[in-house]
């Protein structure tokens, strides 16, 4: 009987390089109503298991939070029209590694 993974090893299927943070977040000063962008550079392109948080609340890509990747390794978060409620700690996580601002 043939298995669906015939000829493939589990190493080849699931091995992920250990992605680390090369350049962490920097603290920003922003005025109410302005946009602010945070950047975090990682060691490998196409990193998975990436998350942005504000005050321990996971952020989603929407009209107020723009989450993107530049040049494959620079993960960015832009908060649009910042309000007093947006003040707090920003956290970027990739795998077990985190950076905060």
Residue 57's φ and ψ, nearest 5 degrees, are -110, 125
Secondary structure of the chain: what % helix, strand, coil (to 5)? 10, 40, 55
The total number of structural domains in the chain stands at 1
Residue 45 lies in a domain: yes
**What range defines the domain where residue 84 resides?**
17-100
Q: Return the pLDDT at 23.
A: 97
- Give domain status of residue 2, yes or no: no
Q: Would 29 be classed as within a structural domain?
A: yes
> What is this structure's pTM?
0.81
In a domain, 48, yes or no: yes
Domain of residue 46, CATH code: 2.60.40.10
* 1 within some domain: no
pLDDT tens for the chain, 101 residues long, are 544 444 444 454 555 568 999 999 999 988 999 999 999 999 999 898 999 999 999 999 999 999 999 999 999 999 999 998 888 899 999 999 999 99
Helix, strand, or coil here: 10? helix
Instruction: Say if 47 falls within a structural domain.
Output: yes
Decide: 28 and 36 in contact? Cβ < 8 Å: yes
User: Would you say 58 and 98 are in contact if contact means Cβ atoms under 8 Å apart?
Assistant: no
Sign of CA dihedral 99, 21, 94, 48: positive
Residue 93 corresponds to which tokens in the numbers above? 């996580």
The answer to whether residue 55 sits within a structural domain is yes
Residue 4 within any structural domain of the chain: no
């Amino acid at each position: 009987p043939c298995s669906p993974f015939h000829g493939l090893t589990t190493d080849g299927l699931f091995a992920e390089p250990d992605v680390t943070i090369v350049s962490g977040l920097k603290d920003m000063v922003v005025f109410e109503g302005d946009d602010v962008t945070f950047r975090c550079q990682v060691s490998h392109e196409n990193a998975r298991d990436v998350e942005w948080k504000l005050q321990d609340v996971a952020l989603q890509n929407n009209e107020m939070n723009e989450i993107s990747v530049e040049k494959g390794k620079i993960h960015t978060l832009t908060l649009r029209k910042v309000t007093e409620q947006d003040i707090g700690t920003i956290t970027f996580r990739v795998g077990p590694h985190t950076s905060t601002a």
